């Protein structure tokens, strides 16, 4: 498939475009500045200028001739609620609307573990330590995608690390946040590989799941998803 990765300069995005570059898919790195584009072109990547804070027409133009979009954008941990809402929420929704206008076949979004469960991040519970506005943004972006009519996959990774990838995971509709009294984690590389495998497996269409490192090979874990 021809795949546009929006947020290709992020930590997961960079790993993902590298994996897609050596796969059977054709990847375009969606980047928000000309300096990033120059850097990626020097590395041999196809690129497109994509700024999710711009209008839908801009996003739709970047999606021309693409078959799949991966939304790997994140406003970053150092920004405030305003940027989170305009990037992680409104930027995601605009990308979905643009994808529909561009007749995109697949839309994959990288969310966050537990985002679908308000009791973990809102009201008086707050078991998830990141600001409630972050999880609210993820929750509503995911909800929009669920009802968008796009062929979606929602990947909700556990706490992200840069450790050596294991290639093995556990996934499900809702995972406990901890295992053996430790917070669940997953390497960014394993998240990127999960995206690649989702593109390879039609079974992952219209699926949403939490995921952390575990003991099942990524492709095998995805193959066990109920159709």
Whether the pTM exceeds 0.75: the reply is yes
C-alpha span between 213 and 149 (Å, rounded): 30
Residue 134 known to be catalytic: yes
State residue 127's pLDDT score. Answer: 57
Among 122, 109, 179, 197, residue whose Cα is nearest residue 150: 109
Residue 167 has pLDDT above 90, yes or no: yes
**What are the backbone dihedrals phi and psi of residue 81, each rounded to the nearest 5 degrees, phi first?**
-60, -35
Give pLDDT tens digits for 118-143.
888 765 555 555 567 888 899 999 99
State residue 129's pLDDT score. Answer: 56
Give pLDDT tens digits for 82-97.
889 999 999 999 999 9
Residue 227 has pLDDT above 70, yes or no: no
State residue 154's pLDDT score. Answer: 98
C-alpha span between 189 and 171 (Å, rounded): 16
Report, as an integer, the average pLDDT of 72-89. Answer: 84
Active-site entry in 45, 123, 133, 134 = 134
C-alpha span between 83 and 145 (Å, rounded): 20
CB 143 within 8 A of CB 93: no
Residue 77 has pLDDT above 90, yes or no: no
State residue 222's pLDDT score. Answer: 97
């Amino acid at each position: 498939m021809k795949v546009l990765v929006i947020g290709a300069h992020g930590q997961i995005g960079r790993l993902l475009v590298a994996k897609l570059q050596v796969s059977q898919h054709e990847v375009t790195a969606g980047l928000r500045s000309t300096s990033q584009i120059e850097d990626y072109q020097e590395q041999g990547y196809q690129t497109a200028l994509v700024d999710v804070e711009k209008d839908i027409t801009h996003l739709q133009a970047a999606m021309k001739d693409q078959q799949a979009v991966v939304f790997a954008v994140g406003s970053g941990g150092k920004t405030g609620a305003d940027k989170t809402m305009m990037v992680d929420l409104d930027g995601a929704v605009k990308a979905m609307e643009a994808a529909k206008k561009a007749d995109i076949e697949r839309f994959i979004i990288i969310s966050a573990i537990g985002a679908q469960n308000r009791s973990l991040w809102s009201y008086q519970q707050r078991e998830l330590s990141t600001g409630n506005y972050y999880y609210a943004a993820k929750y509503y972006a995911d909800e929009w995608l669920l009802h968008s009519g796009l062929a979606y996959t929602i990947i909700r990774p556990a706490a992200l690390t840069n450790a050596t990838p294991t290639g093995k995971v556990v996934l499900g509709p809702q995972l406990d946040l901890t295992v053996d009294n430790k917070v669940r984690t997953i390497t960014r590389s394993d998240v990127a590989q999960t995206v690649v495998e989702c593109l390879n497996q039609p079974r992952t269409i219209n699926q949403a799941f939490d995921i952390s490192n575990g003991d099942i090979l990524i492709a095998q874990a995805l193959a066990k998803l109920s159709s």
